[in-house]
Amino acid sequence: MMTMISNCRMFALSAMAIAMLASNAPTFAAKDAVDGGHAAHMLKCAKVCADCQVQCDACFTHCASLVSEGKKEHAKCMNNCVDCAECCKLCATLCARQSSFSAAAAEGCAKCCDECATACEKISGDETMIACAKTCRTCAKECRDMMKMMK
């Protein structure tokens, strides 16, 4: 019985401590007031990059299926998409953390997205490729906007 009461007290104290820490944790809005809006912009970039990663991974699977059917013109896109997805994932992660490496990752991500979009645009009439190219163009623009804001 005594152990159960002690465990309950420990749980209650732990919950109170977590609540106090959470109430004092800086939010993106509070941090934005200090850093001139960088935190919110970095979070937006992280979300756009994460969306692009998902689209590129889906396009990779689409292209891999077409390549396996003998449509070799999709091989370059397949490779670009899988690499672009990795660049987007890195940039999303670093931006979400507000890492000091975010600008460098965004620069690389923008270049990968440009190349991936160009490769996807070369194959006309494929909705998956069109969607991937559009998402990559949006991501490249967001990364460049974030880099400008960081300067």
Res. 150 pLDDT band, cuts 50 70 90:
confident
Coil, strand or helix at 123: coil
Structure tokens given for 133: 């190219």
Q: How far is CA 98 from the centre of its chain?
A: 12
Mean pLDDT value of segment 113-121:
97
At 32-74, the pLDDT tens digits run 434 556 788 899 999 999 999 999 999 999 999 999 999 999 9
Report pLDDT for 97. Answer: 94
Report pLDDT for 35. Answer: 53
At 77-106, the pLDDT tens digits run 999 999 999 999 999 999 999 999 999 999
Inter-residue contact 105 to 89 (CB < 8 Å): no
- Residues with Cβ within 8 Å of residue 58, at least 6 apart in sequence: 128, 132
At 118-147, the pLDDT tens digits run 999 999 899 999 999 999 999 999 999 999
Which overall architecture, per CATH, does domain 40-150 show?
Up-down Bundle (1.20)
- What totals of helices (H) and strands (E) does the chain contain, helices first? 6, 0
| 110 pLDDT higher than 70 | yes
The Cα–Cα gap between 115 and 73 comes to 16
At 5-43, the pLDDT tens digits run 444 454 444 434 333 333 433 434 434 434 556 788 899
